[in-house]
Amino acid sequence: MSSTLLVLNEVAAAPGKADHVLEQWQQFNRKEPIAGRALYRSLDDDNLLEITPVAEVSEVVALNARWHELWDLVSEDLATDFRRQLLDFVEAPKDVAEPVPATPYVQLRHIEVKPREYAAYREWRENTIFNVVRRADEVKAFLAYHSLLSTEPGVMFVSGFECAPEQYQAVFTSPEYQEIVQQAGDRYIVGGESGLYTRVYKRADV
């Protein structure tokens, strides 16, 4: 079953340093394994992402101590500071047995929903976004979270897939789904369609 809480921890490596940072990060994590934790590399740039499931908010205190150690280890090879957020589980149109999808790829799909439209949005997505996802064999996991602590508030879908990224992306570039995106932008999303972003990552610690 997917984790009730997820911590996303993302950073951009300096040019030419992504492989080195990733190797150091992997070695660092092996010293103190956490069940379900996964490390990824972006398909589009030198961003590295760690997803850590936690059972209680209090567990973030222990993570913070490790983040200081990780900073000391890799900071000289980074282009940005770490960007972290804590996500709270809402529902799963395609749940998984593990705390985090065990698929080779994950996609983060983020939108900030207008607060006054949030209840209507929840009902709308059940019959639109979730309907597409449930029918798509390419989508192996699709988990809906909402930001609990974040400088980037809103809805976050964590989607897992194992096919080629191009095959997976076709699900969300179809005319049917593009109509859904337009509907969301017109009514629900802060800033319209520009308030939505997607990022694809490949798992790096398997």
Question: Which ranges of the chain would DSSP assign to H, the alpha helix?
Answer: 18-31, 59-74, 118-127, 129-135, 165-173, 175-187
Name residues of the chain where pLDDT drops below 70. 194, 206
Return d(Cα 76, Cα 68) in angstroms, integer.
14
Return d(Cα 167, Cα 165) in angstroms, integer.
5
Residue 196: its pLDDT value, please? 82
Q: Where are the beta strands (DSSP E) in 67-166?
A: 83-94, 105-111, 141-149, 155-161
Residue 206: its pLDDT value, please? 63
Whether the predicted model's global pTM rises above the 0.75 cut: yes
Residue 3: its pLDDT value, please? 96
Alpha carbon distances (Å) from 128 to 124, 133, 160: 6, 9, 19
Residue pLDDT, tens place only, 142-197? 999 999 999 889 999 999 999 999 999 999 999 999 999 999 989 999 987 767 89
178: how many CB neighbours lie within 10 A of its CB? 11
200: how many CB neighbours lie within 10 A of its CB? 18
